[in-house]
Each structure stands twice: as C-alpha cells, then as structure tokens.
Amino acid sequence: MQTLTYRRALLKLSGEALVGEQGYGIDANTLQYISAEIRDVHKLGVALAVVIGGGNIFRGTEAQAYGIERVTADYMGMLATVINGLSLQSGLEKIGVATRVQTAFEMQAIAEPYIRERALHHLGEGRVVVFAGGTGNPYFTTDTTAALRAAEIGAEIVLKATKVDGIYDADPVAHPEAVKLQQLTYMDVLQRGLKVMDATAITLCMDNRLPIAVFDLMQPGSIRSVLEGKRIGTFVGGD
C-alpha cells in the first residue's frame, strides 16, 4: 500500500457538490468526476465512508419559508440525501467500486439500515459505505452526521469537501481581500464563528480528537493529497 497518513476516513460531501453548472439536481459529469476521485483513493486501500447532504434537491432549513413545518421539512431533507446516496452508489459501482448505502431509517427495498457492525464489516471487506438519511432525527445537520459516523467507525480524519480551497476569515466571494487560514484549533472555529461545520459537529470532532481537513473537491487529486498528509486547504485540530 502507498504510504498514507490516514488509512480510514470519512468524506463529507454537500448535496450542492453534485450540482455542477446546472444549479439544481445531479449533474452527470460532476457525479462521474467525484466517483473517479473516490475510486483513486479506494485503490490505495483506504477504508472510506461518505456522508452526503441533500441541499441540491431539498433543504429543510429553508422550507419553513414555504409554510412547511420544521420537523417535516427536515425529514424531507433526509429523503433527499438518500437520493444522492443512491446516485453516488450507482456512479461508483459503474467504475468497479463496491459500495453499500446505509440509511438512518429503514428503507429495505433500496438500502441497508445503519448498523455499526455491518458498516465496519463492509469497510473491512473493501467496500465504500455511503451513510444517507442524516442521523435519522430532525434538527441535526449532515455535518453532525459526518462527525458522529466518523467517530463510530473509528475514522482518523473527516474530509470536508467544499467548493473553495479552505477556510477564510471572511467570505472570499463577497470579500476578495479575505485571508485563507492554513490551520485552526477546534476552539478557534467555535469562538470565531467560522462557517466550516455547525457547532455540534465541531464539538463532536473535538471530543473525539478527530481532525478535519477542509479543501476544494474540484481540484483533482485533492482527496488523495489530504490522505497522504499534504497540508492543502485548511486543517482543523488540536487544542
């Protein structure tokens, strides 16, 4: 196996990562690109799990504006993550990567229920495991799901894939003068209110000593670079 700093990881993808240039839904070319990036690190022998959001289809926190009650909206958002999880499974299976989708609530016709021991078994057998359906509870984000599942499966790092090349001290789109931050502690993120992951997710990672790498997913080879220990993007960890 190639020399790797991290051999078991959890990749957090937003639903928007699948949109590509079309603005909504799932872009075929983007799905193929992400699948190929995952395949490249899977070939190295990395035990890789994925948590995927659903914002490209439905975002629960925004649905209240349409008169949909929050709990119902959150469940609708969880269902959107299942659609994305199945699409990612299809993309991976087409290029030869064995994949299992596990959901936080039972959907027996299309996916396995989340069972920790079964997830660990799949990872041990060289399968990519996609965790969909969030935590199965309203009021929790898929960032929190990522931190929770990463701790449960013994991941060594959380890979937070984004559309920008790290964390900045301000929104780099609105503020061109924003400064990129190379390394932060968990408390830096919490105290400065940096929009990396929600506070619950950051606290879970801090409590379990799980580092977080924030990087640009659309930079080819970025997932591999992080797993090889290269400091691209922004690294969050330590006191």
- Alpha carbons 72 and 94: distance in angstroms, whole number: 34
Tell me the binding residues.
Answer: 12-15, 54-55, 59, 74, 135-142, 162, 168, 171
- Overall average pLDDT of the 48-67 stretch: 86
Residue 193 in any domain: the answer is yes
pLDDT of 13 higher than 50: yes
The single-letter code of the amino acid at 234 is: T
Annotated binding site for ATP: 12-15, 55, 59, 162, 168, 171
What is the count of structural domains for the chain?
A: 1
Per-residue pLDDT at 187: 95
Residue 2 lies in a domain: no
pLDDT of residue 125: 97
Q: What is the pTM of this model?
A: 0.94
For residues 66 and 79, the answer to whether their CB atoms sit within 8 Å is no
> Is residue 1 a part of any domain in this protein?
no
Residue 50: give its domain's CATH number. Answer: 3.40.1160.10
Do the beta carbons of residue 100 and residue 125 sit within 8 Å? no
pLDDT at residue 24 tops 80: yes
User: Is residue 95, in this structure, part of any structural domain at all?
Assistant: yes
Nearest by Cα to 156 from 7, 17, 23, 1: 7
- State the Cα–Cα distance between residues 14 and 81, nearest whole angstrom: 9
Is 3 part of a structural domain of the chain? no
CA atoms of 133 and 78, how far apart (whole Å): 4
Is the residue at 49 inside a domain? yes
Give 183's pLDDT tier (boundaries 50, 70, 90).
very high
Binding-site residue positions for UMP? 54, 74, 135-142
Q: Is residue 67 part of a domain?
A: yes
Q: CA–CA separation, 164 vs 168, rounded Å?
A: 9
128-172 pLDDT, tens digit each: 999 999 999 999 999 999 999 999 999 999 999 998 899 998 888
Report the chain's terminal Cα–Cα distance, integer Å. Answer: 32
Question: Alpha carbon of 101 to those of 1, 136, 160, 162: distances in Å?
Answer: 26, 14, 19, 22
Q: What residue numbers bound the domain in which 164 lies?
A: 8-236
DSSP the chain: ----S-SEEEEEE-GGGGTTTSSSS--HHHHHHHHHHHHHHHTTT-EEEEEE--TTT--GGGGGGGT--HHHHHHHHHHHHHHHHHHHHHHHHHTT--EEEEESS--TTTSEEP-HHHHHHHHHTT-EEEEESTTSSTT--HHHHHHHHHHHHT-SEEEEEESSSSEESS-TTT-TTPPEESEE-HHHHHHHT-SSS-HHHHHHHHHTT--EEEEETTSTTHHHHHHTT---SEEE---
Mean pLDDT rounded to a whole number for the chain: 93
User: pLDDT tens across 211-220, in order?
Assistant: 999 999 999 9
Distance CA 74, CA 71 (A): 5
In a domain, 117, yes or no: yes
